[in-house]
Amino acid sequence: MEEEMLQQLRSKATELLLREEWIQAINVYSQLISLCQQNLSKTQQASDPDRLSKIHKSLSLAFSNRAEARSRLRDFDGAIEDCDRALEMEGTHFKALLCKGKILLNLNRYSDASHFFQKALLDNQSNGSSEALQGYLDRCKKLEFQSKTGTFDLSEWVINGFKGKSPELAEFIGSVEIKRSENNGGRGLFVTKNVEAGTLLFVTRAVATGRGILPEPGEDADESARLVMWKDFIDKIVEASMKCCRTYRLICTLSSGGGEEDLGVPDISLFRPEAEEVVFTKEKPEMGKLLSILDVNSLTEDAISATVLGRNKEYSGVGLWILASFINHSCNPNARRLHVGDHMMVHASRDIKAGEEITFAYFDVLVPLRKRREMSKTWGFQCNCKRCRYEEVFGCREELREIETVLEFGGSDKGALVSKLEEWMKKWVTKGKEKGYLRASFWTMYSDVFNSEKSMRRWGRRIPTIGAVAESVAEAVGGDERVMIVFLQNGSARKTAFVVQLAKEVYYQIYVYYNLRGFMFKWILP
């Protein structure tokens, strides 16, 4: 009778697994495992070695199949536990070896994953699976190389216009560490050695993302769509936290918006994939804490095709990239991010000295101080970077307030405003980066003039060249694709050295594969 029940459970569980009904399959395999364990206890008492061996095989298979179902639901903690229990009974169990290898690969533990794939390849049960296993081993080797060297190849993806599946990337952490920030008293990410513009600082995968094509801002459907996307995103974060105690532990290292000075400074090694070997205590996620953390640390994601190719402009995305969340905002940033699938690649957008803090622009910094102050309030902070401190003192000038007012209400000749601002800066003896700060704050005014033949005919001789403006803006606030595109459309070929530098700052990971005079010009321009 028991044997008949076992066979029925095995058949039902196998059917559910093949139909990819993972939750139901887990439930049935759990019943099967419980029944097998009861029989195991009775068989041990009866001292029946053949029966004992048969039950061990049934249990091993049930544990490995339940591990497969759990891994498909991204319950990696439970799946690894099932694999280990199967391997305790049968050390060369092929399905358990393969499943654990795939889980470890998903968790970015490339060396450990390779070990299990190698053991599975040596097992005589692999039969026709040798080619697939070799493919997994090759992936582990490639990703481990990326993780150790920071060398990534995006060329095929770029050549195909970002179509199809994005390239598989490894987690990579370069010469960075988490320390106390002098700017805000909280934590920040710092470089541990001098790095040049374009240097890859780290690559990290999102815990979860929420994406969608949203209606035009201001429409009733827009707010509703954003709420749906945000709820979906929160649900994914909660699910990831419940299924992986390491993920929840790392999320909890982030600020929840208060008492930043009281938070500890985590060691960077905690974020490396091999830290998975550390035993993390299982905790039930606190919903209120998670929501506070997401409110403070979630980053918006712009589609590369939207910002560069001008497609899907209504595209919107939000995600949680834990290591990137330690990077503070600056209106004078020194790093940029590139989204590739669920991964974020962060590189230096200018030279950074050892011990210097890495900073992002959380929002558009090519706007006047007043607007930047408004945007920073929505993030719950006030930027105190060098640029903001300068403009705080300088921005009280009546002339600058006049330009802002005119721009706000429109209807004025922007060429005249640019000419006035340049004349005032000469009068005020504004030099170097300070001149770049003011030009950056009124960049939209400059770009409109440079893109208007009528304005250039009238004002071209009375205002600086696009090259001079673009260089000063890039030097003051870092590279920006809008500055680069306007320069490429209007700049001089003799400024090739600056274009190269600007390209490295803006899209370094893409730029490196192309001759600047060839493919890149065709690709970057609308």
pLDDT per residue over 474-498, tens digit each? 888 877 777 877 777 776 544 555 5
> What per-residue confidence (pLDDT) applies to 152?
86
Question: Domains in the chain, start-ordered, CATH in brackets?
Answer: 2-149 (1.25.40.10), 167-360 (2.170.270.10), 369-493 (no CATH)
Q: Is the pLDDT of residue 42 over 50?
A: yes
pTM, full prediction:
0.84
Q: Which of 140-154, 199-213, 403-417 has the lowest mean pLDDT?
A: 403-417
> What per-residue confidence (pLDDT) applies to 304?
45
> What per-residue confidence (pLDDT) applies to 131?
87
> What is the pLDDT confidence band of residue 55, given thresholds at 50, 70 and 90?
confident
The share of the chain scoring above pLDDT 90, in percent, equals 37
Question: Do 301 and 319 meet the contact criterion of CB atoms below 8 Å apart?
Answer: yes
- Among residues 302, 272, 276, 249, which one has the least CA distance to residue 80? 276
**Tell me: the pLDDT tens digits for 303-339?**
443 444 344 455 678 899 999 999 999 999 999 888 8
- pLDDT (average), residues 66-79: 93
Q: Is the pLDDT of residue 123 over 80?
A: no
> What CA–CA distance (Å, rounded) separates 196 from 201?
10
Burial class (CB in 10 A: 0-12, 13-18, 19+), 282: exposed
- pLDDT (average), residues 225-245: 88
Angle between helices 443-450 and 398-409 (to 10 degrees): 60
> What CA–CA distance (Å, rounded) separates 80 from 70?
9
Residue ranges in 347-442 assigned as alpha helix (H): 369-379, 386-394, 398-409, 414-427, 432-441
Q: Which of 55-59, 266-270, 342-346, 377-381 has the lowest mean pLDDT?
A: 377-381
**Would you state the torsion angle of the CA atoms of residues 61, 66, 69, 75, taken in this order, to the nearest 10 degrees?**
-140
> What per-residue confidence (pLDDT) applies to 411?
64
> What per-residue confidence (pLDDT) applies to 301?
74
Q: Is the pLDDT of residue 180 over 70?
A: yes
> What is the pLDDT confidence band of residue 202, given thresholds at 50, 70 and 90?
very high
Q: Is the pLDDT of residue 505 over 60?
A: no
> What is the pLDDT confidence band of residue 516, given thresholds at 50, 70 and 90?
very low
- Quote the mean pLDDT of the chain: 82
Q: Which of 183-192, 255-264, 413-422 has the lowest mean pLDDT?
A: 255-264
Instruction: Sort strands 187-191 and 200-205 into parallel, antiparallel or unpaired.
Output: unpaired
